[in-house]
Structure 1
Amino acid sequence: MISVENLSKTFSNHTIFKNLNLKIATGDILAIIGPSGSGKSTLLRCLNLLEFPETGKVVIGDQHYEAGHISRQEIVKIRQESTMVFQQFNLFRQKTAWQNVAESLVVVKHVNKQQAKQRALAELAKVGLSEYANFYPGQLSGGQKQRVAIARSLATDSKILLLDEPTSALDSELVGEVLATLRQVVADHPDYTVVLVSHELEFVKQVATKVVFFEDGQILETGTAEEVLEHPQHERTQQFLSRFTQQQLAHS
């Protein structure tokens, strides 16, 4: 479903990752964990060309691209293969919840507005926000905004779901409702391929079929959630998990 070959990305002469290789099978739920600033989110953004790598090849769904030779038409096709949930929600402030969900259906898929509204209302119902359909983002909590963003992604019918730290912008008491929504999404769509960047290790342990430990633009360890989180082999993975656990305990 997703293949990354020799992918390289730099920002202002700083190498984010170089010659990165990764394969994700159809139906996998891959969680990418690691320290902040290690390139996890940049990798996610390169998958659907929100960022442009300098070298390498990416296959995503039925489309592929080679860095340095990407046409505008290829960009559109690549972005149609997946949908992304961002850290900061990225909702239109002047549109209601249902309008935010319906927007891509109308603009990208040319669905008529009434059909798009019905689909948007159905997706909002799935994330428990039916009564908030006519609310604007400024009237919603952070958790509700993120659930609108999740509904928006589900409405596209893309089989590849990219989740970039979906709870990092939320207050701690709101994290649970978003994780519960994502847990239900995963359960309801076993045919989806999910790539998740997250620091919520307990959630990762519950939903991920595969975990990658990422640091300084390199994949240091790969395995099942149990293998990586419970029995890490690489010294850096062990150090990260030990420090992370201590931080969680300090804040509990």
Structure 2
Amino acid sequence: MIEIKHLAKTFSNHEIFSDINLTVNTGEILAIIGPSGSGKSTLLRCLNLLEQPDQGEVTIGDSHFTAPHISKKQAVKIRQESTMVFQQFNLFRQKTAWQNVAENLVTVKKIAKTAAKERALVELDKVGLSEYANFYPGQLSGGQKQRVAIARSLATDSKILLLDEPTSALDSELVGEVLTTLKSVVEEHPDYTVILVSHELEFVKEVATQVIFFEDGQIVESGQPKDVLSHPQETQTQRFLSRFTQQTIAQ
């Protein structure tokens, strides 16, 4: 479970968001949608302390912190509770696909390299990349790199996944393969709790159990996908979805 109370973040006197309150129950898939620059990714990064919030409380799994007084021990525990898939993959260029997946297992979890490699190969197989295990990131397409990043997250055994615009850095023809991979992941792991920031609204409609529309650092509207995406009640949500649909058609 993830519980957020009164969370706030400011950069250089610019308020990114304030007084965010949110609960995501075990097994739920929460999708956060909204315009660029609305604070969605920053909110996600504050949950595992890649960014430190200014105020508020966060509980993730068995770990908890109250900002801004966060100890190093608390930060380590929070980061161990969840795993994050980034927009830009964040792979080590000098390491092969399997080495990228195994790296955290060896350095953080202190698993023997042989066992870590075996686990990495299992996870690469799950995302359809067995034959690319010895390829370096420079030899992979953007979609393949992101699937390596997904395999790396699965290898941590964390049951809380934070997905930050996982397809935004991909060419349109590569988006489908990553979305298919993510869909299979959530279908095969119904006990996972997921927070997904995404602009892929059809995908959100398919996989999410709850949707939040986020704008100007505030939760404007929330509910089930069929309600928020098909029958939005708030003017801001209606405007965003109308503009987003028009952009999609134009493309």
Q: TM class by shorter-chain length?
A: over 0.9
1:141 to partner: Cα distance: 0.2
Q: Does 1:77 align with 2:80?
A: no
Q: Does 1:210 align with 2:210?
A: yes
1:19 to partner: Cα distance: 1.1
Corresponding residue for residue 234 of structure 2: 234
Corresponding residue for residue 35 of structure 2: 35
Aligned pairs for 1:183-198 (under 5 A) are: 183-198=183-198
Taking the aligned partners of 2:72 and 2:64, their CA distance within structure 1 comes to 13
Corresponding residue for residue 58 of structure 1: 58
Counterpart amino acid of 2:78?
A: I
Counterpart amino acid of 1:78?
A: I
Corresponding residue for residue 139 of structure 2: 139
Taking the aligned partners of 1:163 and 1:184, their CA distance within structure 2 comes to 15
Aligned partner of residue 52 in structure 1, secondary structure = coil
Counterpart amino acid of 1:211?
A: V
Q: Does 1:129 align with 2:129?
A: yes
Aligned pairs for 1:83-162 (under 5 A) are: 83-162=83-162
Superposition TM-score, scaled by structure 2 size: 1.00
Aligned partner of residue 116 in structure 1, secondary structure = helix
Taking the aligned partners of 1:230 and 1:247, their CA distance within structure 2 comes to 17
Corresponding residue for residue 175 of structure 2: 175
Q: Which runs of 4+ in 1 moved over 2 A?
A: none
For structure 2, the residue ranges without an aligned partner over 5 or more in a row are none
Taking the aligned partners of 2:237 and 2:19, their CA distance within structure 1 comes to 21
Deviations 1:196-230 (A, max 9, x none): 00000000000000000000000000000001001
Aligned partner of residue 68 in structure 2, secondary structure = coil
1:171 to partner: Cα distance: 0.2
Identity percentage over the alignment?
Answer: 76
Aligned partner of residue 6 in structure 2, secondary structure = strand
Superposition TM-score, scaled by structure 1 size: 0.99
Taking the aligned partners of 2:132 and 2:154, their CA distance within structure 1 comes to 17
Taking the aligned partners of 1:165 and 1:19, their CA distance within structure 2 comes to 23
1:68 to partner: Cα distance: 1.6
Counterpart amino acid of 1:146?
A: Q
Deviations 1:80-107 (A, max 9, x none): 0000000000000000000000000011
Taking the aligned partners of 1:60 and 1:156, their CA distance within structure 2 comes to 16
For structure 1, the residue ranges without an aligned partner over 5 or more in a row are none
Aligned partner of residue 26 in structure 1, secondary structure = coil
1:65 to partner: Cα distance: 0.2
Counterpart amino acid of 2:156?
A: T
